[in-house]
Amino acid sequence: MRNTIMSVTSAGALLVLVVAVAAVSGLTLGPTQKEECATGKYPPPKTAEYQVPKYVVNLDLPAADRWTHIVKERAKSIVNLLTQFKDFLRALDLQVAEMFINYIDHNFGNLTNTLPEPFADEIKGISKATGIPLGEVLMYNIFYEMFSMCTSIVAEDPAGKLYHARNLDFGLLMGWDIKNHTWVITESLRPMIMNIEFQMKGKVVYKAVTYAGFIGAITGMIPDVLTLSVNTRFSLTGGKIGIIEWLLGDHSSQWVSFLTRDVLTYSTSYQQAKEKLSQVELIAPAYYILGGNYSGQGCVITRSREKALDIWELNPGKGVWYRLQTNYDHWKAPLFVDDRRTPGMRCMNQTTQQNVGFAGLFNVLSTKPVLNKLTTYTALMQVNAGKLETYKQHCDDPCWPW
């Protein structure tokens, strides 16, 4: 880890780190927004470098047994990720890190009992199947509340068919490898990406994209009903405060990715999902990007921890055929060192509604800096066909770090 730059994990820390990372990456200050929109990127090569494996999770099994077949196969990858995270902490402060790691391994796991079912038993089952301390499995499953950057798009084609696509960017400020120009945690996560079919009585209930050992849902769909993705929302009263409250005993709020999974498990309509995603109190603020199965059913729900602050909807009758959301409120300017919105919208407008589809959306999400060094995967969903495709993503130099 000697060739790695470390820093604190917050959006504001980008301003502190930007000059250093740009310098060691050979980049000019500020991500390029005049990058040519990518073309011809879809479909990616049918190689392990891009393709994502598919697994089935049987919801008829006891919760503790549902993930065993997956995590036993992927235990080494999960251990490697957790080791990288512990190395990151040690590089910040060895003494404090050892105290924190000791607490995680010996005490933190007790908090699993505060989680609602089936999540508590699923996490316990993963720990038992892999031999990884329960506290480390729990910590891994709350990473998303703190460390994610994303771009999500919901769009409608001229025939009224809804498409939903997203980049999942993960590992912000968690170790920059100077030699290879990569984020350490991002590189560890990419091999762990998988598509999951959640089945009950042999039938698909919903589909999701996740990382091995991560039981929450960040990207998913109920075939012929809805599509859903989650983006982190940066806020001064954000996830860290919610996590501290949870650690101190207030368990009234719900984890962002657990609510997403509940919606995918139990929702029967776009409207029902929209209402639940707008009302349930959360550990962290977030953006829920939701798509339905009829024309006009698409929106971005901007959430505080307590409630929806804004619902930004499609309006194809007035020419609003897509919504693109990154990690900043749509009515405010994005952080100047992290503007993925402007190039993303420029490429969507250049694509035009006539070319909405998997190829067009994949090209937009493959355009720098929408595609960046944090990007682990691109997911593409079409609700009526029940189609979910996921591809590992890579951003070759020169490439902006986020």
Helix axes 68-92, 119-130, angle to 10 degrees: 80
Structural tokens at position 148: 């994610």
Q: List Cβ neighbours of 366 (8 Å cut-off, separation of 6 or more).
A: 38, 41, 378, 393
- Give the number of other CB atoms < 10 A from CB of residue 124: 19
Q: Encoding tokens for residue 243?
A: 């996590």
Mean pLDDT of the chain: 90
Q: Is the pLDDT of residue 388 over 80?
A: yes
* Mean of pLDDT values over 392-401: 94
- What is the identity of the amino acid at 250? D
Q: Which residue do the tokens 């919105």 mark? A: 341
Enter the pTM of the model.
0.92
For the stretch 105-124, pLDDT in tens is 999 999 999 999 999 999 99
Q: Could you tell me whether strands 176-177 and 162-170 are parallel, antiparallel, or unpaired per DSSP bridges?
A: unpaired
Type of residue at 111: L
- The mean per-residue pLDDT over the stretch 4-31 comes to 48
pLDDT of amino acid 7: 38
- pLDDT of res. 4: 46
| Domain architecture of the chain: domains with CATH | 4-53+147-392 (3.60.60.10), 60-140 (no CATH)
Residues 6 or more apart in contact with residue 318 via CB below 8 angstroms:
none
The amino acid occupying position 87 is D
Concatenated DSSP letters of 78-146: HHHHHHHHHHHHHHH-HHHHHHHHHHHHHTGGGGGGGSPTTHHHHHHHHHHHH---HHHHHHHTTTHHH
Answer for the pair 203, 62: CB distance below 8 angstroms, yes or no.
no
Would the pLDDT of 14 be above 80?
A: no
Active site residue 299: no
Please say whether the beta carbons of 205 and 59 come within 8 A: yes
* Average confidence (pLDDT) over 344-356: 98
Place of tokens 């971005």: 300
Least-confidence region, from 39-48, 89-98, 302-311: 89-98
Q: What is the mean pLDDT of residues 180-204?
A: 95
Is the pLDDT assigned to residue 231 strictly greater than 60? yes
Check 150, 299, 347, 399 and give the catalytic one.
Answer: 150
Specify whether the CB–CB gap between 17 and 173 falls below 8 A.
Answer: yes
Instruction: Please give the pLDDT value at position 144.
Output: 64
**270 neighbors 292 (Cβ within 8 angstroms):** yes
The residue type at 339: D
**What is the structure's pLDDT at 147?**
62
Q: Choose among 378, 361, 353: nearest CA to 39.
A: 361
Query: 118 to each of 140, 214, 249, how far by Cα in Å?
Result: 17, 13, 20
Do 198 and 265 contact (CB within 8 A), yes or no? yes
pLDDT at site 334 = 93
**Are 140 and 123 in contact, with CB atoms under 8 Å apart?**
no
Higher pLDDT, 225 or 32: 225
Are 142 and 243 a contacting pair, CB within 8 Å? yes
* Residue-wise pLDDT tens digits, 138-189: 999 987 666 677 999 999 999 999 999 999 998 876 778 888 889 999 999 9
Q: How many CB atoms within 10 Å of residue 385?
A: 10
Using CA atoms, how far apart are residues 9 and 332, in angstroms rounded to an integer? 22
Closest among 367, 315, 310 to 341, alpha carbons compared:
367
What pLDDT score was predicted for residue 21?
52
pLDDT for residue 5: 42
The pLDDT value given to residue 244: 84
Could you tell me how many residues make up the chain? 402
Please tell me what DSSP assigns to residue 260: H
Give burial (CB, 10 Å; 0-12/13-18/19+) of 8.
exposed
- Per-residue confidence at 75, pLDDT binned at 50, 70, 90? very high
pLDDT digits 0-9 by tens, 268-320:
999 999 999 999 999 999 999 999 999 999 999 999 999 999 999 999 999 99
Estimate the share of the chain in helix, then strand, then coil, as percent rounded to the nearest 5: 35, 25, 40
